Structure 1
C-alpha cells in the first residue's frame, strides 16, 4: 500500500499551479510551500498541475523547479513529478547513459519490477528518450549480468499466484545441479529460470530448494556467483519472496554507518511511495526495531527531510 497522504478535499490543479507560481516569485523560492503542495498530490494530480502550469504560464513546471530548487530536495522533487513508470524509465536511462554509469541502480530497478511494470517502462523509455532500453543495457553491461538483464527485461512473465509443483521441484533440482552440485557454475540455467519465472513460482522454488537440499537458494547464489550478477539474482529472488523486506534492507544500508547514500534513499522512497511503502515501513520496523520515519528524520535535514517524510506519510497538508 502507498504511504502518500492526499488531503480529503483538494484544491483544483489550476489553483495549485497558481500557488506554485507565487511560491517561485520574489527573492528566493518558498520551498516549504512547494513541498506542501507537491508532496501531497498523486501522479494524476501532479500531471494535471503540470498541464495547468504550462497553459497559464507557458512554461514547463519541471524547468522552473530545476531552477528554483537545489541539492537533494531538487533531485527528489524532480524525480517525484512523473508517474511511476516514467520515474523508473528516467532512473534507468540516467544510470545507463549519465555522466556516472550506475549499473547497480539500473539493475535494482529492472530486477525489482514485475513483468507488466517492465513492459510499460520499455514503452516510456523509447517514447521519452528515443532509445531502446535493451540497446543501452547491451552497451553498458557485460557478461552474465548483461545476459540476465536482457532476458529479464524482454521476457513476458505470468504474474499470477498459481504455481506448478512439478515444475517447481524440477527448477529447484536444475538450480542445484547448476550450482552447488557442479564444479563451477552453469550461469545459463540461473539466467533462464530467473528470467522466465513468475514471482510466485520463484518463491516456491526457493522454498523447495531449502526443503530438498537443506540450504537456502540465497546462500547458494552468494557462494556460486559474484558482483553485479549476484546482486541481480538476489534482487529478483528477494523481491519474489518479500519486496517490502528487500527495500527495507536497501534503505537501512543507505543510512547506516558514516554518511548517507542519498541517491539510494531518494530512489527508493520516491519510487515506492505510491506503491508499497506501508509494507516497507512495517518490514523496516520489524527488522530494525526503529521506524523508518525516525531513521530518515535522523539522517536528513531541512526541506529535504520534510519532503521525504511527507512521502512517507509523516505529515498531511
Structure 2
C-alpha cells in the first residue's frame, strides 16, 4: 500500500502553518453564517496528518474541539465531508461501519466497500478503533446486524488473515479454480463456503491465477458465475472481493459511477470514497473512471451534485 502513497489528489501543502489555518477556520465560523469557501480551501488542500495538527492548534487557541465547532455550524452533506476529512483514516472507516449498521436495516455497501478493499493492517487498526470508540467489537456489531453466509464472509474478512505474500502456488491455483467450479456451476445448489475459503484467504497474485484457471475450467469469468450462483448481499461482497483483487481503482471508479448514475445520488457512497481515497489512489481512480465511462470523474461530480458539497468534492477530485 505504501507505494500508492503519492497517487492521491491531496498532497502536503507547502509552507504549512497549523496555527494560521486554525485561525482561518475560526474566522470562517465567526458572526452570522459560515464561510464555507474558506473551510473548503483549507481542509480539502491539507493531508490528514496536517489536518490533525490544525485540530490540535485550534483546541489550543480556542479551548474547543474543531470537529464539534464545525458540526454545530454546518449541516447536510457538506458537514459530512468536512467531519470525514478531520478523522484519522481508521477512525473514519470505523465511523462509516457504525453508520452502516445504524437504525432499521443495514447499508451493506458500507461494510462491503471497506472490508473488501482494506489491507490486514488497516482492518486490524479499524477493529481496534471501533472497540475503543463503541465499547463493543466490530465482529459483535456485524453479527448482531447481519446473518447467514453474508455474515460469515464479513467475519472472515474481519479476521485480517489474508495471505499478503506475492507467492503463487500453481498447483493450488488450479485446484482452487476446480474446487470453486465444482462448488458452483458444476452442481445443483452452491457450496458458498468453498468460495469463502478461497476468496477471503488467498493472496492477490494467487487469486489472479485462480481467476485465469477458472475461466479455462468453466468457460466464463468468475464474476459471471458469482452473479449466476449468488444473490443479494452475498453476491455483492464476493464480487467486491474479486474486483478489488483485479484493481482497486477500477472497483472504486465503478462504485462512484453507480453512486451518481440514475435517479438521485447515493451520497453516502460518493462521500465515503472521495474522502477515504483522496490521499491514497484518487489519481488512479480518476484514470480508471475516464477509461471505463468516457467521461471525467470531475465532470460527473459537477453535473450530479450541488452547492458547497459539490465544491468540496471537486477540490478533492483535484480538477479534470
TM-score range (shorter-chain normalised) is: over 0.9
CA RMSD of aligned residues (A): 1.4
Structure 1 unmatched ranges of 5 or more = none
Shift of 1:312: 1.0
Report the equivalent of 1:238. Answer: 243
Contact 2:124-2:160 at 8 Å conserved across structures: no
Report the equivalent of 2:10. Answer: 4
Report the equivalent of 1:183. Answer: 188
Superimposed CA distance per residue, residues 8-65 of structure 1 (whole angstroms, 9 cap, x where no aligned partner): 322x111111111111101111111011001111111111111111111111111111
Report the equivalent of 1:68. Answer: 73
TM-score, normalized by length of structure 1?
A: 0.95
Q: Helix, strand or coil for the counterpart of 1:196?
A: coil
Q: Which runs of 4+ in 1 moved over 3 A?
A: 97-100
**CA separation in 1, counterparts of 2:165 and 2:29?**
47
Asked if 1:197 corresponds to 2:202, the answer is: yes
Shift of 1:103: 2.1
**CA separation in 2, counterparts of 1:133 and 1:29?**
36
Contact 1:157-1:197 at 8 Å conserved across structures: yes
**CA separation in 2, counterparts of 1:100 and 1:176?**
33
Q: Helix, strand or coil for the counterpart of 1:136?
A: helix
Asked if 1:33 corresponds to 2:38, the answer is: yes
Query: Matches of residues 1-317 of structure 1 in structure 2 within 5 Å?
Result: 1-10=7-16, 12-98=17-103, 101-314=106-319
Structure 2 unmatched ranges of 5 or more = 1-6
Shift of 1:98: 4.5
**CA separation in 2, counterparts of 1:210 and 1:138?**
34
Shift of 1:100: 5.6
TM-score, normalized by length of structure 2?
A: 0.94
Contact 1:73-1:307 at 8 Å conserved across structures: yes
Shift of 1:249: 0.9
Bigger mean CA offset, 48-57 vs 233-242? 48-57
